[in-house]
Amino acid sequence: MQSPNRYQIALLSAYALALHGFESMFPSPVPWLRLGLANIVTLITLLLYGLRAAFTVTLIRVVLASILNGTFLGPAFLLSLGGGILSTLSMGFFASLTPRLFSATGLSLIGALFHNGTQLLLAYALFIQRIEAVLLITPLIVLLGTLTGTINGIVSELIIKNLKKSVEKIQNVDT
Amino acid sequence: MNFREILKFTTVADRVLFSILILFSLLGLIFVRSLILGGNSVEINVDGNLEYVLPLDEEKTVPVQGPQGTTLVEIRNHRVRVVESPCQNKLCIQQGWVEHGVIACLPNKVLITVGKNGKRGSEPDAVTE
């Protein structure tokens, strides 16, 4: 695992931001329910460059996206920030604690679960304050998060495999 | 890239986690729905005063005493209807079974609200006497 330079962090953040903007064009039944495409970039960064880099990329993405959306420091920003931080930390935790247990798909599922769990808790604590409303929507959000998390995980897995393949090719040409 | 190749690079833990999440969220969907249904109640007001609060999941027939006589309210299968009413037009009886909402018998001043337990903000804005 190499440590990334600032240009790589900038590039990864730009990818994450672009995906974040792209997915906000999809209609959604709940404002903070998203496909989580930006999590693909977080996951790839985590597996290639480590938790520190993934955390930096997530923070840059969340802050910049909220400034561009005009939701900076608003309720959606708090949910997005909390979900982003907790999902990155949980994925980093499982990736370093049990490196061979989960593939990128499993890590993506963990990230999605922690993302949704954090957002539901934050939404309950800050805005809704009706436990039955939160309980009513929790299974649906977990179900959708599991489905999108699986797809994101598989996509991340494929991208990482292809990246490694192309790196090997370049190294073969060099020698 | 077909389904079998994708399955090949997932680990056992991945698949276990996936199955657990799907199972629990589906169970949650079913469980939470019955929980919410069970928490419902029927409130019966007579002349603006709350006279009865009854659970919706209990089968029961209640005689409600109004100014004109007795309105008979029946609760069955999470639904409510008025069986008998002393009023003239019998609109409340014609309304039939109600799952959630309001049955009103204006002549006998009986108001039956079927809905969530402890729900606020559903009171009338004003009542004229």
Q: What is the pLDDT of residue A90?
A: 96
Q: Which residue of A has its CA nearest to B2?
A: A154
Q: Does residue A50 sit at the B interface (CB-CB below 8 Å)?
A: no
A118 CB-near residues (< 8 Å, 6+ apart): A82, A83, A85, A86, A87
**Mind listing the pLDDT tens digit for each residue in B78-104?**
888 898 888 888 888 888 888 877 888
B126 CB-near residues (< 8 Å, 6+ apart): none
CATH topology of domain A6-174: Arp2/3 complex 21 kDa subunit ARPC3 (1.10.1760)
Q: What is the pLDDT of residue B118?
A: 46
Q: How many residues does chain B have?
A: 129
Closest CA to A48 of A173, A157, A175: A157
Q: Is A135 within 8 Å of B1 when comparing Cβ atoms?
A: no
Q: Does residue B106 sit at the A interface (CB-CB below 8 Å)?
A: no
Q: Which residues of B touch A110 (CB under 8 A)?
A: 17
In this prediction the pTM is 0.70
Domain range annotation of chain A: 6-174
**Mind listing the pLDDT tens digit for each residue in A54-66?**
999 999 999 999 9
Contact between residue B110 and residue B46 where contact means Cβ atoms under 8 Å apart: yes
Q: Which residues of A touch B10 (CB under 8 A)?
A: 103, 105-106
Q: Which residue of B has its CA nearest to A135?
A: B32
Bridge partners, residue B61, by sequence: B74
**E strand residue ranges, B1-129:** 40-46, 49-55, 60-65, 70-76, 79-84, 101-105, 110-116
**Which residue stretches of chain A have pLDDT < 50?**
none
CB crowding B87-100: b at 16 or more within 10 Å, else e: beeeebbebeebee
Contact between residue A42 and residue A95 where contact means Cβ atoms under 8 Å apart: no
Q: What is the pLDDT of residue A56?
A: 96
Q: Does residue A10 sit at the B interface (CB-CB below 8 Å)?
A: no
Classified as helix, coil or strand, A111 is helix
pLDDT band at B119 (very low <50, low <70, confident <90, very high): very low
**Mind listing the pLDDT tens digit for each residue in B18-41?**
999 999 999 988 887 776 655 577
From the list A106, A113, A139, the residue facing B11 with the nearest CB is A106
Type of residue numbered B44: I
Q: Which residues of A touch B14 (CB under 8 A)?
A: 102-103, 105-106, 109, 153
What is d(CA A34, CA A27) in angstroms, rounded to the nearest whole number?
A: 9
Distance between A108 CA and the closest CA of chain B, angstroms: 10
The interface predicted TM-score of the complex, written ipTM, equals 0.85
From the list B17, B31, B36, the residue facing A106 with the nearest CB is B17
**Average pLDDT value for chain B:** 81
Q: Does residue B61 sit at the A interface (CB-CB below 8 Å)?
A: no
Q: How many residues does chain A have?
A: 175
**Mind listing the pLDDT tens digit for each residue in B56-85?**
777 888 888 888 888 899 988 888 889 888
Q: Which residues of B touch A113 (CB under 8 A)?
A: 21
